[in-house]
Structure 1
Amino acid sequence: MTPPTPPIARYTVRVAEDPADRQACFAVRRQVFVVEQGVPEDLEYDEYDAHDADTVHVLAVRADDGEPLGAGRLLHGPAAVAKTGADASVGCLGRLAVRKEARGLGIGAALVRAVEGAARARGLSAVDLHAQTHALAFYERLGYAAYGPEFAEAGIPHRAMRRAL
Structure 2
Amino acid sequence: MRVEVRVTEDLAACLALRRAVFIEEQGVPEADELDDLDGQAVHLLALVGGEPMGSARLLRKGETGKIGRVCVLAAARGTGLGVALMGKALEVLAADPALRRAKLSSQTHALGFYERLGFVAEGPDYLDAGIPHRDMVRALR
Question: Where on the TM-score scale, by shorter chain, does this alignment land: which range?
Answer: over 0.9
Is 1:122 the counterpart of 2:111? The answer is: no
Residue 17 of structure 2 is matched in structure 1 by 28
Structure 1: runs of 5+ lacking an equivalent: 1-8, 81-87
Residue 6 of structure 2 is matched in structure 1 by 14
TM-score normalised by structure 1 residue count? 0.82
Out of 92, 108, 117, the residue aligned to residue 66 of structure 2 is: 92
Residue 53 of structure 2 is matched in structure 1 by 69
Q: Could you tell me how far apart the structure 1 residues matched to 2:3 and 2:13 are?
A: 15
User: In proportion to residue count, which structure has more strand?
Assistant: 2
Q: Could you tell me how far apart the structure 2 residues matched to 1:36 and 1:136 are?
A: 19
Q: Which has the larger radius of gyration?
A: 1
Give the alignment of 1:1-165 within 5 angstroms.
Answer: 9-16=1-8, 18=9, 21-50=10-39, 52=40, 55-63=41-49, 66-76=50-60, 80=61, 88-123=62-97, 124-165=99-140
Structure 2: runs of 5+ lacking an equivalent: none
Number of residue-to-residue matches in the alignment: 139
Two-structure CA RMSD over aligned residues (Å): 0.9
Identity fraction in percent = 50
Flag as ranges the 4+ runs of structure 1 deviating above 3 A: none
